[in-house]
A and B are shown apart, each in its own frame.
Chain A
Amino acid sequence: MALAGFLILAVAAVAGALGVVLQRNALYAALSLVGVFAATAVLYLMLSAPFLAMIQIIVYAGAIMVLFIFVIMLLSVRYEESGEGAGIPAGVKRNLAVVLAALMVGLFAVLSWTFVLTGRRGAADTDTTSIEQLGLTLYRKYAFPFEVASILLLVAIIGAVAITRRHGRGMEGSVGVEES
């Protein structure tokens, strides 16, 4: 049973990884990468690392990939036109988007409702002790690296702002390249 789950996840992860490498459009590559990260999160759950699974979804599939997609939309979409999906009329696309959004909301509602119904039973107990152990290890054995990581993030924020700031002209300029 667990092996079957692992194989499904592994195939999904490898397929997503191949998608990242083979997709022509950078946006589709980014979506494939989100799939890889989601499969990885479930693998973490399988390895009894629930905290990392949540972090993986929130930080990787959430924050980092949103940043990626933001930059892709900003830079490269007009350079790599995709042939796919261009012929579909806008109305159909809009309906499809609404249906997908409704599906997602429904899925979320069902999942959260089952979670409320089942409550904290069964595997949840071992999971909490796992998170507790992780916290104890992090704050006892690795307290100093933890603080260093926060400084690293601060430096990265300042560095990113410093790199993208336009020299001499303040912040008002747009990101797009100058007409040439």
Chain B
Amino acid sequence: MTPMPVPLAYFQVLAGLLFSIGVMGVLFRRNILIIFMCVELMLNSANISLVAFGRALGSMDGQVMVFFALAVAAAEVAVGLAIIIDLFRKKGTVDVNQVSLLKG
């Protein structure tokens, strides 16, 4: 394999940055749909990291991991959005502060 065009560390910094932004979104936003999108963002940043490591090591395993992560993400989105729709039917809102059914 040809050497990497850009150093591995750059990709890791980018992945870390995207992950941190996703965490910020999960912590500070109240719209459950946007929180869910931020979770997708975090998954995506982990995927970038995996592909970059796989490329640096000259191994295909990183790409296969990302392939499975994509399959799991698709399943997760289907079930998650179904839960959000059901939540909206029951509570009439997508604001997570209004949803405190499990609070004791």
A interface residues with partner B (beta carbon < 8 Å): 2-3, 6, 10, 13-14, 17-18, 20-21, 23, 26, 29-30, 33, 36-37, 40, 43-44, 46-49, 51-52, 55-56, 59-60, 63-64, 67-68, 71-72, 74-76, 79-80, 126, 133-134, 136-138, 141-142, 145, 149, 152-153, 155-157, 159-161, 163-164, 175, 177-178, 180
Contact = CB atoms under 8 A, between A and B. Distances in A.
30 contacts: A14-B14, A17-B21, A20-B22, A20-B37, A33-B37, A33-B41, A36-B44, A43-B11, A43-B14, A44-B51, A47-B4, A48-B55, A49-B63, A49-B66, A67-B77, A67-B78, A71-B85, A75-B85, A80-B31, A134-B60, A134-B67, A137-B63, A138-B67, A142-B68, A156-B79, A160-B79, A160-B81, A161-B82, A163-B83, A180-B92
Interface residues of B, number: 59
**Which residue among B47, B71, B76 has the maximum number of chain A CB atoms within 10 Å of its CB?**
B71
Given A2-B5, A21-B25, A79-B94, 20 more contacts: A2-B6, A3-B5, A3-B6, A6-B10, A10-B14, A14-B14, A14-B18, A17-B18, A17-B22, A33-B40, A37-B44, A47-B54, A47-B55, A52-B63, A52-B66, A59-B74, A68-B77, A153-B71, A160-B82, A178-B89
Nearest to A10: B14
A29 B22 contact: no
B86 A163 contact: yes
Contacts of B99: none
A141 B40 CA distance: 27
A8 to B, nearest CB: 12
Contacts of A67: 77-78, 81
A75 B84 contact: yes
Nearest to A22: B25
**Which residue among B4, B44, B66 has the maximum number of chain A CB atoms within 10 Å of its CB?**
B44
B96 interface: no
Contacts of A71: 33, 81, 84-85
A55 B68 CA distance: 11
Interface in B38-94: 38, 40-41, 44, 47-48, 51-52, 54-55, 60-61, 63-64, 66-68, 70-79, 81-86, 88-89, 92-94
